């Protein structure tokens, strides 16, 4: 699908650069330099002595060694393991052991970061353009909301275009088939829905009355009854965030527990045809199920395997021989594609003005 001259067909979809994406869980970034490839770029992460996260282009401009490959921290600077050249937290060369004063050329790109809750967000565009106001509201997500408990720690790598993952997470109709009863009783695909849009937020809402509670859901949410009223809301924030929100009220008489549970996904491209899903959980109750993330990994890997297979076939056929026909339930996905295309087109217009 081409919108405003932008390719937003999953499999080959472009992504905007002047946006925030989840780069890591807070617990991953320490005083030990860590490498991660995002946006097809090598990036090294570490923390300053004050605990602030830092992200730099992971290549020494002297002879090309990764700074994360054996690099050592001295205060707030990182030292290349090859020739000992050091770079400060802004990416500027600050020491050449063999002599000489570092010039402006002896520097690496610095990425703007923002740490909220247990996530570290990264700005994919130029650091000077970073706009923190467009990061999704973490209270609305549930991550920092009063009365909610947040959990982190599941990251899934997919060998498929980022938009496959984004759209999969806001598509309820596959639940009844791909996940073969793990989280529903087969009633989701045909159920009526409503679609709502507010800025870059698009939500698909389904209301279920007195439905059977799936065993995996009952275990994860400590529901003791067998039936409940449920609201399923699948939300996308273009271009990189999804929320799967489920609200349960038990209806089988003896039990009347209420649960508001949210899975929050940061979808970050690592390349044109690969991405990472960073998964957090926010509940209005304390989750005491010790294996909740392992159960979730098993469930979500069914999606990853399917999407990777779709990408392989897409690449084999090429976009011209791999058309897609959308149906009514794809309304949320199509709206999100239009938003992403608009974001990229706006970047392109701004680039022309400044060039």
* Helices and strands in the chain, H and E counts: 6, 19
Q: At what angle are helices 162-169 and 331-354 packed, to 10 degrees?
A: 140
pLDDT over 80 (residue 71): yes
137-353: CATH architecture: Alpha-Beta Complex (3.90)
For residue 355, the model assigns a pLDDT of 65
**Quick one: fold of 20-123?**
Rieske Iron-sulfur Protein (2.102.10)
Q: Which residues of 182-201 are buried (b: 16+ CB within 10 A; e: fewer)?
A: ebbeeebeebebeeeeeebb
Whether the CB-CB separation of 264 and 148 falls below 8 Å is answered with: no
**Rounded Cα distance, 273 and 12, in Å:** 7
The pairing of beta strand 227-237 with beta strand 201-212? antiparallel
**Rounded Cα distance, 47 and 66, in Å:** 17
**Rounded Cα distance, 208 and 228, in Å:** 8
Whether the CB-CB separation of 62 and 103 falls below 8 Å is answered with: no
Percent of the chain surpassing pLDDT 70: 99
Render pLDDT for 297-336 as a digit per residue (tens, 0 to 9): 999 999 999 999 999 999 999 999 999 999 999 999 999 9
Render pLDDT for 130-158 as a digit per residue (tens, 0 to 9): 999 999 999 999 999 999 999 998 999 99
**Rounded Cα distance, 95 and 254, in Å:** 70
Q: Give the chain's end-to-end CA distance (angstroms, integer).
A: 28
Task: Indicate the average pLDDT of the chain.
Answer: 94
Residue 97: other Cβ atoms inside 10 A: 11
**Rounded Cα distance, 133 and 61, in Å:** 33
**Percent helix, percent strand, percent coil in the chain, to nearest 5:** 25, 35, 40
Residues in CB range of 172: below 8 A, 6 or more apart: 188, 189, 191, 193, 204, 206, 232, 234, 329
Domain ranges across the chain = 20-123, 137-353
Render pLDDT for 253-309 as a digit per residue (tens, 0 to 9): 776 788 999 999 999 999 999 999 999 999 999 988 777 889 899 999 999 999 999
For residue 214, the model assigns a pLDDT of 86
Structure-block tokens of residue 268: 């970050």
**Rounded Cα distance, 75 and 89, in Å:** 10
Q: How confident is the model at residue 219 (pLDDT cuts 50, 70, 90)?
A: confident
């Amino acid at each position: 699908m081409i919108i405003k001259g932008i390719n937003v067909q999953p499999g080959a979809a472009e992504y905007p650069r002047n946006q925030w994406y989840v780069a890591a869980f807070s617990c991953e970034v320490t005083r030990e330099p860590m490498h991660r490839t995002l946006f097809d770029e090598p990036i090294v992460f570490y923390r300053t002595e004050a605990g602030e996260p830092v992200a730099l282009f992971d290549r020494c401009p002297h002879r090309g060694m990764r700074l994360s490959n054996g690099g050592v921290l001295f205060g707030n600077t990182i030292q290349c393991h090859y020739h000992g050249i050091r770079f400060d937290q802004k990416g500027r060369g600050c020491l050449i052991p063999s002599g000489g004063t570092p010039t402006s050329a002896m520097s690496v790109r610095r990425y703007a970061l923002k740490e909220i809750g247990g996530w570290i967000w990264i700005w994919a565009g130029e650091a000077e353009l970073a706009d923190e106001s467009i990061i999704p509201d973490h209270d609305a997500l549930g991550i920092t909301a009063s009365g909610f408990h947040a959990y982190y720690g599941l990251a899934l790598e997919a060998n498929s275009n980022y938009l496959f993952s984004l759209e999969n997470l806001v598509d309820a109709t596959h639940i009844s088939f791909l996940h073969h009863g793990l989280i529903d009783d087969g009633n989701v695909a045909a159920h009526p829905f409503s679609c709502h849009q507010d800025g870059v937020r698009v939500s698909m809402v389904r209301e279920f009355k007195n439905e059977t509670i799936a065993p995996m859901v009952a275990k994860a949410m400590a529901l003791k009854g067998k039936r409940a009223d449920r609201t399923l809301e699948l939300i996308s924030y273009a271009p990189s965030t999804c929320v799967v929100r489920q609200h349960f009220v038990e209806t089988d008489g003896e039990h009347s527990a209420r649960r508001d549970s949210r899975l929050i996904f940061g979808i970050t491209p690592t390349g044109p045809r690969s991405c990472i899903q960073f998964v957090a959980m926010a509940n209005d109750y304390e989750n005491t199920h010790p294996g909740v993330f392992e159960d979730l990994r098993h469930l979500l890997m069914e999606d990853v395997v399917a999407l990777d297979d779709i990408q392989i076939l897409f690449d084999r056929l090429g976009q011209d021989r791999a058309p897609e026909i959308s149906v009514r339930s794809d309304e949320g996905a199509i709206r999100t594609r239009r938003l992403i295309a608009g974001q990229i087109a706006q970047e392109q217009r701004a680039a022309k003005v400044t060039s």
